[in-house]
């Protein structure tokens, strides 16, 4: 663990702690005991800040310069792993116990890493500019791919739930509503709009680019404060803590092992590209997992605990994975 990464982790914990203090002291209640600042802040992030970040990222992507072989070696096992967790949760009755969105929430918690706050300083400190360039390429598609896939899955699950409870009885209206909810969505719509804008080759006007950059830069601090608020407003129960520990083990141990095996023996990666993709997979759970759980009002306390636990445990597991990667040259 390098000093730069350790200091980043401390800064993350301090920011989360500030959000927790604000929640415990009820600084954001505005005199209303029924207020829910955590959900309000989550909605602000999901409907304003995250869409701005996603649109700007996709609109500025340089597809010709992407290291597509390395990208595939990372995202193929990652998406398969994510779908495996989703399928496991559906088969084990997670949707019956916690709601239709639970399998998707747990799938994103076990697969979406903190690629910016922790990932960028880690890649910079360990791999220099060459490794950082690969890491940035993965970041550019990280939220786009994972959030889009899981948004489609969760909307299908919600449609099935509405159909099962008699809220929708005809197939075509159900399909229409599901398609609309999937596309007209704070994650998918800005991605599609950004891709269309990118295809025009027009670029972003400096004023528009600066506005989107300012909004997007708020994602990190807002999400970290939101984690603290959620810890204060949604007490964690024992079964939720157990679920968070399982998710953390999946994220920190099993996922990087899967990416290592597939990237090395399936795609032939070695050296620097292999190290970057494995360390990207080994990152602790990212704050977007909480935003996703808040969007669907499902397992918010568990998702928050998974972020905190995996971030603390990352101090040990990152050293383990660096030792493993040293054996691959």
Fold of the domain built from segment(s) 3-326: Na+/H+ antiporter like fold (1.20.1530)
Tell me if residue 113 falls in helix, strand or coil: strand
**Three-state SS letters, 224-286:** HHHHHHHHHHCCCCHHHHHHHHHHHHHHHHHHHHHHHHHHHHHCCCCHHHHHHHHHHHCCCEC
Structure tokens at 50: 């995250």
Enumerate residues 6+ apart whose C-beta is below 8 A from 169: 163
| Spatial CA neighbour of 267 closest among 62, 63, 67, 61 | 67
Q: What is the rounded distance in angstroms from the CA atom of residue 50 to the CA atom of residue 172?
A: 31
| Res 168: pLDDT | 52
Question: What does each C-alpha distance from 69 to 74, 77, 247, 282, 328 come to in angstroms?
Answer: 9, 13, 28, 20, 18
Other beta carbons within 10 angstroms of residue 148's beta carbon come to: 17
Contact 111, 255 (CB under 8 A): yes
Contact 318, 122 (CB under 8 A): yes
- Residue in 150, 138, 134 with CA at minimum distance from that of residue 79: 150
Tell me which residue of 69, 123, 130 sits closest to 279, measured CA to CA: 123
- What's the whole-model pTM score? 0.78
Phi, psi of 112 (to 5 degrees): -90, 115
Query: What pLDDT does 174 receive?
Result: 55
193-208 burial code (b ≥16 CB/10 A, e <16): ebeebbeeeeebeeee
Tokens in use for 192?
Answer: 């599609």
Q: What is the DSSP letter of 49?
A: I
3-state secondary structure at position 169: coil
Residue 80: its pLDDT value, please? 97
Residue 204 phi/psi, 5° resolution? -105, 130
Could you tell me the mean pLDDT of each successive run of 10 residues in the chain, 329 residues long?
Answer: 68 84 83 72 82 84 85 96 95 82 93 82 78 83 85 84 64 59 70 87 91 86 80 74 92 97 95 94 88 86 88 86 85
- Could you give the angle at which helices 102-109 and 119-164 cross, rounded to 10 degrees? 170
């Amino acid at each position: 663990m390098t000093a730069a990464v350790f200091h980043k982790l401390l800064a993350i914990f301090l920011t989360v702690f500030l959000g927790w203090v604000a929640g415990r002291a009820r600084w954001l209640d505005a005199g209303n005991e029924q207020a829910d600042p955590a959900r309000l802040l989550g909605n602000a992030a999901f409907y304003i800040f995250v869409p701005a970040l996603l649109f700007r990222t996709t609109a500025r992507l340089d597809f010709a310069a992407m290291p597509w072989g390395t990208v595939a070696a990372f995202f193929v096992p990652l998406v398969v792993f994510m779908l495996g967790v989703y399928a496991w949760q559906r088969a084990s009755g997670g949707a019956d116990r916690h709601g239709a969105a639970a399998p998707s929430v747990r799938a994103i918690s076990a697969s979406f890493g903190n690629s910016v706050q922790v990932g960028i300083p880690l890649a910079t400190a360990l791999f220099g500019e060459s490794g950082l360039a690969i890491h940035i390429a993965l970041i550019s598609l990280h939220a786009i791919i994972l959030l889009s896939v899981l948004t489609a899955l969760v909307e299908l699950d919600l449609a099935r739930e509405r159909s099962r409870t008699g809220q929708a009885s005809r197939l075509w209206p159900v399909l229409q509503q599901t398609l609309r909810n999937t596309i007209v969505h704070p994650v998918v719509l800005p991605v599609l709009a950004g891709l269309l804008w990118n295809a025009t080759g027009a670029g972003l006007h400096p004023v528009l680019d600066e506005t989107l950059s300012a909004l997007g830069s708020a994602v990190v601090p807002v999400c970290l404060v939101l984690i603290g608020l959620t810890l204060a407003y949604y007490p964690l129960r024992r079964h939720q803590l157990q679920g968070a520990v399982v998710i953390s083990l999946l994220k920190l141990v099993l996922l990087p092992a899967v990416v290592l095996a597939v990237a090395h023996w399936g795609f032939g990666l070695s050296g620097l590209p292999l190290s970057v993709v494995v360390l990207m997979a080994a990152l602790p759970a990212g704050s977007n997992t909480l935003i996703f759980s808040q969007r669907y009002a499902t397992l918010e306390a568990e998702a928050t605990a998974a972020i905190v636990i995996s971030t603390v445990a990352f101090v040990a597991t990152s050293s383990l994975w660096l030792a493993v990667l040293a054996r691959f040259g």
